[in-house]
């Protein structure tokens, strides 16, 4: 059986999405995650860049995957003896690109493929969330949806749908090279929400409003306004202590080199940022500037990647 998913970036709405506000995420189909599964191992066996060995002894960082595999076999009504899982990933781990959800999604797709069973989007989502709950504590489900989506998605409270896109801009995603800790930033914001609700809640509501306006910008090709919305979202997230000096530095470098807007993306305090540029030429200039400002890696993303 074979299953493929991909990395993702959140255009806008990370963190506020955990509080029921909407978010917009984009699958990055050029950054692939692949899982293969076959019968015939002496016991369940798992091979990835992070770990090679018995499924029973997966390290703590991967125990969510084991739970998803168990839930998946239960759903399928299968009790095989020795399955061999092989993961090949282009999605960097702990960079806000959805690697944990992407692995779980690829494994679930591979198992359904192995047993030649149809897999609908809701079942896939539910099985990936089994893993995400262990990996992240209180996941909105945004990563679970975005890493297996065909098109950009609008997500709110577990409901998701594909978005119509008319935007002509090009995105640059850059990795700070520093591990993000989604679990930690989500937990810290939760503690802050409880302690200083009157300070935190208006910012979360504002991030929701920015997201709704961003949806209109995507549908009506308004890149300049979308850039402004991204800048404000970054400022709101920074005020909620989700940014870091490295992320701020890359955001400033992108803006100084002609980006229309830039913000951190994903869990924050490390991980990745995203910049919006007018065209491919502007995007490659921004990517160069980001590498010169310390980014470890950059990806250029155009909407033409999505199926029409």
Kindly list the catalytic residues. Answer: 143
CA 256, CA 253: separation in Å to the nearest integer? 5
What is the spatial distance between Cα 167 and Cα 152, in angstroms, rounded to a whole number?
12
Of the candidate spans 9-17, 112-120, 226-234, 246-254, the one that interacts with ligand MEV by CB under 6 A turns out to be 9-17
Complex with ligand MEV: residue 133 or 249, whichever CB lies closer: 133
**β-strands 153-156, 52-54: how paired?**
unpaired
Closest CA relative to residue 250, chosen from 197, 172, 148: 172
**Using CB under 6 A, which residues numbered 123 to 162 contact ligand MEV?**
136, 139-140, 142-143
Residues 255-274, interacting with ligand MEV (CB under 6 A)? 266-267
The reply on whether position 182 binds ligand MEV by CB under 6 A is yes
Positive or negative: CA dihedral 36, 297, 228, 246: positive
Residue 142: CB minimum distance to ligand MEV, A = 4
- 96, 208, 227, 261: which one contacts ligand MEV (CB under 6 A)? 96
Shortest distance, CB of residue 238 to ligand MEV, whole angstroms?
Answer: 14
Shortest CB 79 distance to ligand MEV, Å: 32
Tell me: does residue 175 bind ligand MEV (CB under 6 A): no
Q: Are 244 and 269 in contact (CB under 8 A)?
A: yes
Which residue matches tokens 């980001």?
290
Where on the chain is the footprint of ligand MEV (CB under 6 A)? Answer: 10, 14-15, 17-18, 96, 136, 139-140, 142-143, 182, 186, 266-267
């Amino acid at each position: 059986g074979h299953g493929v998913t991909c990395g993702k970036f959140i255009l806008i709405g990370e963190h506020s999405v955990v509080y029921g506000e909407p978010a917009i995420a984009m699958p990055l189909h050029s950054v692939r995650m692949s899982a293969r599964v076959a019968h015939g191992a002496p016991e369940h066996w798992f091979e990835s860049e992070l770990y090679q060995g018995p499924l029973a002894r997966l390290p703590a960082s991967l125990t969510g995957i084991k739970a998803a595999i168990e839930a998946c076999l239960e759903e399928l009504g299968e009790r095989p003896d020795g399955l061999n899982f092989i993961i090949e990933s282009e999605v960097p781990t702990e960079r806000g690109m959805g690697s944990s959800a992407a692995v779980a999604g690829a494994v679930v797709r591979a198992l359904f493929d192995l047993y030649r069973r149809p897999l609908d989007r809701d079942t896939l989502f539910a099985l990936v969330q089994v893993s995400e709950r262990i990996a992240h504590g209180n996941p909105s489900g945004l990563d679970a949806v975005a890493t297996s989506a065909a098109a950009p998605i609008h997500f709110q409270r577990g409901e998701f749908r594909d978005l119509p896109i008319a935007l002509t801009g090009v995105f640059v995603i850059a990795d700070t090279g520093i591990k993000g800790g989604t679990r930690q930033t989500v937990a810290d914001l939760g503690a802050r929400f409880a302690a200083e609700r009157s300070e935190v809640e208006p910012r979360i509501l504002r991030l929701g409003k920015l997201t709704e306006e961003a949806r209109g910008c995507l549908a009506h090709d308004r890149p300049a306004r979308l850039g402004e919305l991204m800048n404000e979202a970054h400022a709101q997230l920074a005020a909620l202590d989700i940014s870091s000096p490295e992320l701020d530095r890359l955001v400033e470098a992108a803006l100084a080199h002609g980006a229309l807007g830039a913000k951190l993306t994903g869990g924050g305090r490390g991980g990745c940022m995203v910049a919006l540029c007018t065209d491919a030429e502007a995007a490659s200039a921004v990517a160069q500037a980001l590498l010169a400002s310390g980014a470890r890696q950059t990806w250029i993303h155009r909407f033409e990647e999505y199926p029409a």
